Structures are given as C-alpha cells and as structure tokens.
Structure 1
Amino acid sequence: MEEVRVKLPFNLAAGETEYRSGVWQGLVLKWQKEHLLLELPAEADSISSAVYGGGMGRLKRAVNQFVSRDYECSNPVRDMEAKLVEWGYPLEGCAGLMTAVPLEHAAVAEEDTGSAGIFCCVTAAAGNAARAGSQRSVLAAYRPGTINIMLAIDGWLSPSAMVNAVMTATEAKAAALADLGISDAENGLPATGTTTDAVVLAVSGSRRYAAEHVYAGTATDLGGAIGRLVYSTVTASLRSVKAAEAERK
C-alpha cells in the first residue's frame, strides 16, 4: 500500500499560510487570524456535527476557530456567528468548528482514487481523550472540539454513502488513537476519541469521475482512502502537538 503523504502546510515563520488542493480544483485551505478557512470552489452537499451550521445542507466554507482552553462556552453558536460577521463571511453555507489546538498543527493529506478526489484536514490533541461506551463523567456545557476533521470529496456520493464516510472517518480516528496508545484518563481504557470531537464532510456531487458511490465503508476504494487519510492526519497532528509540548519543557 502506498504511504499517505501528510503535510503540515502552515509554516508561519516562512509566511506559508495557504494550501491549494491538488485533487479538487479551486479548493483552498487558509490560515487566518484565529481560524482556518476551508473555501470550496462551489456549494457542496454537506453533513456535519459542527457547532455552527451543522447537520445536513449546502456548504460553501468551513471555519475551524481557535479558542483558548479556558474559553467561556455558554453560547458557542452566538460567539461563532459574531466571529463570522467580524471576519466578513456570509453566514449562509458556513459550518463553524472550535478547537483549542494551535492551528499550525493542522495536518493535510489528499488522494485521487480514480473515482473521487479526497481532501482531509485535521487538528488534533488528546488532552481530553475519552472512550465511548465506558462509564465516565459527562459535560453539562459545550467544550471546544479537540479532534476536528474536515473532509472534502470531489465526486458523487449518495446520502447514505455520506453517512458511511463519516462512520469510516470515525473508525480511522479511533484506530489512530489506539495505535498511539492514547487512553481515557478517567479509566485507563483505550480512547476512541475526545469528549468534544467534530467532523465536517462536503461532497461536490461532480460527475467528472465515472463513479457513483453508494457505500463508503472500509471495503470500498472510497472508504479505504478516507480511512488512510484520516488515520494519517490524526496521527500527524497529534505528533506535532506532542513534539511542540516536549520542546517547551
């Protein structure tokens, strides 16, 4: 299997603040003040767990906002909307995520499978790693997401395949955490995510590939690629954060 090429594209010291997709023409990821901006070349079908503009709908851009770990999060929707207005982005067609991960640790990977072009960007840290399915304390209020996944696919997927793609991405995230030996601090069990992860999936609906994807599980070329990209970018972002923390000590 060909190794996934992962980039950490934002070398701020060198002035590198923009990444242009090689698999979806016109898709751009930008490092901006306090946020990452994923700009699509045209409106796309979307499904997401974004705190702002989440659910199913049409998407033109996604924003991953950096907030401090002590962010007072009683009304994140209001706070995100105020920021979008401040930054001059139209509210319609926008999904908003929040993260406490410094944005220069964003990891990006892409693949053209021959039946779709897939872009993946992840910001990840594991300070609040948790295991789904085990007894643990719960949060009464929103907390900024710690592993945020932004997936963009240039191709045609059925609605069920889009849900399947999110499932596969989630499985890949859990696999990356397991292989890195990350555990739930409350019970010591292998973590499957963090307490506040989020995902955004955008799909162009383009017919330029001669393929109609009705599945996106791990046995499909689409799902296999999604799994590889998510696994690799989650791993790379976590390692980047860990290396920076070790350097500061």
Structure 2
Amino acid sequence: MLIYETSSGEKIYRRDDSIIVYFPGPRRVVSTARLNGGYREDLQAVFNHHMPPGDHKPADLPGGSVEGYLEYLTGRLNLPYRHTAGLLTAARMENASIKTADYRELALTAVVTGGVEVNGGRAGDPARHYELDGQWTFVGGTINIILLIDGNLPPHTLVRAIVTATEAKAAALQELVAPSRYSHGIATGSGTDQIIAVSNVQCRHSFTDAGKHSKLGELIGRAVKEAVKEALDKQTGLNPLRQCNFLVRLERYVIGLDDFWRLAQSDGIGLSRELYLERLRRLATDERLVALAATLLHLLDEYEWGLLSGGATLEAGRNFIRAYVPSAAVDEGKGSEPVNYLIKMFIRAVNEIIAKQEKAFLP
C-alpha cells in the first residue's frame, strides 16, 4: 500500500510488517544499517522492518543469522539484496509517523518508528552486555529514522544531517521526560536506534550545511522531533498527557505504588491498601503535585550532574515542598542523601494531603 510520495519522487509503501522507500533515481545514502550500511551511492531502496519482540537467537532466524535474515527479507520483499539498506525494530509499521518540512527550494521528509519503554537509555549509562566478534542481542524498542532530503548534499553534509537528526531525537525525549531504564537520567534514545539519511543528487540545488545554524538543520530538527514524538505516542502512548502524573515521573527513580503504601503504613494513615491506592492514583494527576515532583526531580538531576551541592539541593527541595504543601511534616534532613530524602519527603507530603482529604469526609 502506497502511504506517501515525497517532493523528490520517493514512493513509500507499507507492506505487512515493513515500510519500503523506493528511489526514483540516484541517491547518496549514509546509514547505520546492518545491511549495506555506511556511505553508498548505489542503493535503489531502503526499508524498516518490524521483528516481533522476544528472544531471537540468530541461528533460529530464517536464513540462520542476522545477515541471512536480512537477505531473506530482501527476497521476500522483492528488493535487490546488494542495492538495499534495511533496518530492524520491534516497533510496528502501522505506528510510523511521517513528517515533512520545507522552506523555499528545500524540502525533506522524516519517516520514524519508535519505542523506548523497554530499552530507553541515556548516553553513558551502564551497558547490559559486551558485544564481541559478531555476537548479537535483539532488544525490544528502537527509534528508527529514515530522513529523505530533497537537496544535493555532499557526503560530509549528509553525515552532519545524521548528527542534527540525532540531536532532535534526544530533544524530543527530553521534552517528554522519557526515563532511562538503566539510570536515573532522562533517555537520549534507545540502545538500538538506527538511522538512514538520503540526499537527492538529481536536485539542482546544493546545500553544504546541515547544522543548527542552517535552515536545513532547522527543518531536520523540526521534522524529526515531531515525527519521534508522534511515533512514540502511537506505539506506546508516550505523550504529554501521560507524563502529567507524578507516579510516572518517579519511575526513573524506581519508585512505585508499594513505596507510597509502605510509608503510608509507617505514618499510620489509617486506610485500607485498596482505598489508599485509589486516592493516590486520583491525586497523581494533580498538576500542582506533578509540578512539585518535576521540580524536585530536576533538582536531583542538577545534583547528580554536579551542578548543585547536596546542601543546596536539600534546602531548595525542602522550601519547594513547604511552599506547595504547607502542612507537610518536613524535617531538616541535615546530612541526608538528597535523592532518598527528597523523594521520601515528597511521598510524605502526598500522604499528608490524602490524610487531610479523608478527615474532611468524616462526620
């Protein structure tokens, strides 16, 4: 099924579990694709393929290896094996986002699929495996980007376009406060992200700057950021509405319902677990409390980045909690570790609100 045609004539089809982009003529391509990746000028098409999440042992794949599976796929899709670049992902193709941006003679299209619920990570996070001599681990998730630029870009500019697109992806995740699953940080991508950038060498207009100071860089950033956000929303419901919830915000510190309930019990809140959790979930979307949680978490970010001292972090956090919840029992916490202390004080402030609400219902 044809789902889109670009200004430069690339036809984009969705065929079952794959999206295929056919080139109408010569193209420069730079990609991280395992199949025919790197810099190429002889490709006729590129694709993005959905592989269901699970424990995929390379030897059990059709073709007997990752490379064999990619060769098998090109045959199944009726594409030339040596002249096609392909990406793999656990994201579904019907959840792809296609965004365009243009300015005067310049136009481009970003085709994005994405998911960061399972393996979202922040650059520099602790790794889970050591890849050596071709060992391969398939992890669910992945943000895959196909960037089609209707402009004649020299190779170095095409590589710079990948840098700008990658920054745009990280900016989208930052604006969604998407959590890393391997640290307390905000994700900058998933551990398996890939990209294909394509330049139309037949275009009579050339562009040599794809950085943020250029209009080309602006268009790349805008289209990729919008497409990443929409793809994540379609795939897993990651969107601003879902993130407006302090329970969701606290996930990156591995704080959940049980942590709230344990502290409620120790503070003698006097509710059954079921009733307490009902009140907690209802309160979790209160924007003032979400704002307080967001403020405290950003203080902790700055502390962990080395921008604020522990003492300044504790003092500011206490003041914010007292300002938002004046009745909260906030101790001085001198010498406390900021992360544990501020999260504990936030939970106590929330519990104070729940207890106060319950008293208002009593005769």
TM-score between the two structures when normalised by the length of structure 2: 0.59
1:52 to 35, 50, 64: 35
Contact persistence 2:126–2:182 (CA under 8 A): no
Distance in 2 (CA, whole Å) between partners of 1:104 and 1:33 is 9
RMSD: 1.8
Identity %: 28
Q: Which moved more, 1:97-106 or 1:82-91?
A: 82-91
Higher helix share: 2
Distance in 1 (CA, whole Å) between partners of 2:183 and 2:228 is 22
Aligned residue number for residue 200 of structure 2: 204
Q: 1:94 to 1:71 in 2, by over 3 A?
A: farther
SS at match of 2:81: coil
Misfit runs of 4+, over 6 Å:
none
Q: Which moved more, 1:112-121 or 1:36-45?
A: 112-121
**Structure possessing the higher radius of gyration over alpha carbons:** 2
Are positions 1:240 and 2:234 aligned together?
yes
Are positions 1:134 and 2:129 aligned together?
no
Distance in 2 (CA, whole Å) between partners of 1:155 and 1:222 is 9
Structure 1: runs of 5+ lacking an equivalent: 1-16
Structure 2: runs of 5+ lacking an equivalent: 59-64, 243-363
CA distances 1:116-137 after superposition (whole Å, capped 9, x unpaired):
2211100001121011123332
Distance in 1 (CA, whole Å) between partners of 2:74 and 2:44 is 13
1:70 CA drift (Å)? 1.2
- Pairing of 1:144-223 with structure 2 (within 5 A): 146-209=142-205, 212-223=206-217
1:83 to 73, 82, 107: 73
1:23 CA drift (Å)? 2.0
Q: 1:152 to 1:71 in 2, by over 3 A?
A: farther
Aligned AA (1:219): H
- Ranked by relative contact order (alpha carbons within 8 Å, sequence separation 6 or more), the top structure is 1
Distance in 2 (CA, whole Å) between partners of 1:179 and 1:230 is 13
Distance in 2 (CA, whole Å) between partners of 1:108 and 1:142 is 28
CA distances 1:148-180 after superposition (whole Å, capped 9, x unpaired):
000111111121111110000000000001111
SS at match of 1:172: helix
CA distances 1:93-135 after superposition (whole Å, capped 9, x unpaired):
2001011111110000112222422111000011210111233
Distance in 2 (CA, whole Å) between partners of 1:129 and 1:164 is 24
Contact persistence 1:76–1:142 (CA under 8 A): no
TM-score between the two structures when normalised by the length of structure 1: 0.85
- Pairing of 1:25-104 with structure 2 (within 5 A): 26-58=9-41, 59-70=43-54, 72-74=56-58, 75-104=65-94
* Count of matched residue positions in the alignment of Structure 1 and Structure 2: 226
Higher strand share: 1
Distance in 2 (CA, whole Å) between partners of 1:181 and 1:51 is 30
Distance in 2 (CA, whole Å) between partners of 1:139 and 1:19 is 39
Contact persistence 2:31–2:39 (CA under 8 A): yes
Contact persistence 2:19–2:47 (CA under 8 A): yes
Q: 1:225 to 1:44 in 2, by over 3 A?
A: same
1:121 to 92, 111, 126: 111
Are positions 1:109 and 2:104 aligned together?
no
Contact persistence 2:101–2:222 (CA under 8 A): no
Aligned AA (2:50): F
